[in-house]
Amino acid sequence: MSAMRVDAKVVMLGKESVGKTSLVERYVHHRFLVGPYQNTIGAAFVAKPIQVAEKVITLGIWDTAGSERYEAMSRIYYRGARAAIVCYDLTDSSSFQRAKFWVNELQNCEEHCKIYLCGTKNDLIEADRSLRQIDYHDAQDFAEEIGAQHFETSSKTGRNVATLITFFLLFSILKTRDCFFFVSSEEAGVDLGQKKDSFFYSCCHNN
Ligand SMILES: Nc1nc2c(ncn2[C@@H]2O[C@H](COP(=O)(O)OP(=O)(O)OP(=O)(O)O)[C@@H](O)[C@H]2O)c(=O)[nH]1
């Protein structure tokens, strides 16, 4: 059996239950699993091939376990990662502290790894604004301080998941405008419409 070629390693990090596995499920399989929460044990791997113009780029995504019990193991998975999606739950302030812990780790141990800060479960905030525990601007300020991109996503509705993760991830990996031509707005759950050019501009100036 031949080994699979992975063009870029991506690692998911964050406190347990912030929604890392759900983000991967939404992004890779376009679904949101309901039912009892099952924590990840160790880590899970999924390969995501993406057609970009003439090329196929394969992202190898490592979904790590958020429980502190697996902290040492998670370090193995971010080694050599091109990008890290550091997640926090918008309704859980302690998860933001944990995200800061992972950012610090990455900055000290994996300085070339591009960091994406992701506030999850945006649908809960949309339904009830009083649930928000991390102010958007505080998270944005932190992201700017560490030179990271920042998103608020919902794996339940799909909001921002495919478009932003794919655009930013691939743009930072490929550094090409080609990545704009493969994500349909339907898949993305959001229509960038007229915003595409300003979005591209912000990509250019943040990578
Ligand atoms: N409403 C809502 N719930 C979500 C969302 N994402 C995840 N959840 C729920 O949050 C719980 C934890 O989600 P997971 O994706 O398993 O979290 P995880 O970060 O992978 O957890 P660990 O494996 O323990 O590290 C599950 O009950 C999910 O259904 C979201 O976008 N919206």
What ipTM does this complex have? 0.99
pLDDT at 166 over 90: no
Distance 154 CA to ligand 1 centre (A): 10
What pLDDT score does 57 carry? 78
HEC secondary structure over 164-188: HHHHHHHHHHHCCHHHHHCCCHHHH
d(CA 196, CA 94): 34
What pLDDT score does 124 carry? 98
Of the CA atoms within 13 Å of residue 43, those in its CB half-sphere come to: 21
Beta bridge partners of 189: none
159: Cβ below 6 Å to ligand 1?
Answer: no
pLDDT at 103 over 90: yes
Kindly tell me the burial class for residue 6, based on how many C-beta atoms sit within 10 Å of its own C-beta (0-12, 13-18, 19 or more): middle
20: Cβ below 6 Å to ligand 1?
Answer: yes
Helix 196-206, helix 161-174: angle, nearest 10: 50
What pLDDT score does 58 carry? 84
59: Cβ below 6 Å to ligand 1?
Answer: no
What pLDDT score does 14 carry? 97
Beta bridge partners of 50: 57
Question: Are 14 and 65 within 8 A, CB to CB?
Answer: no
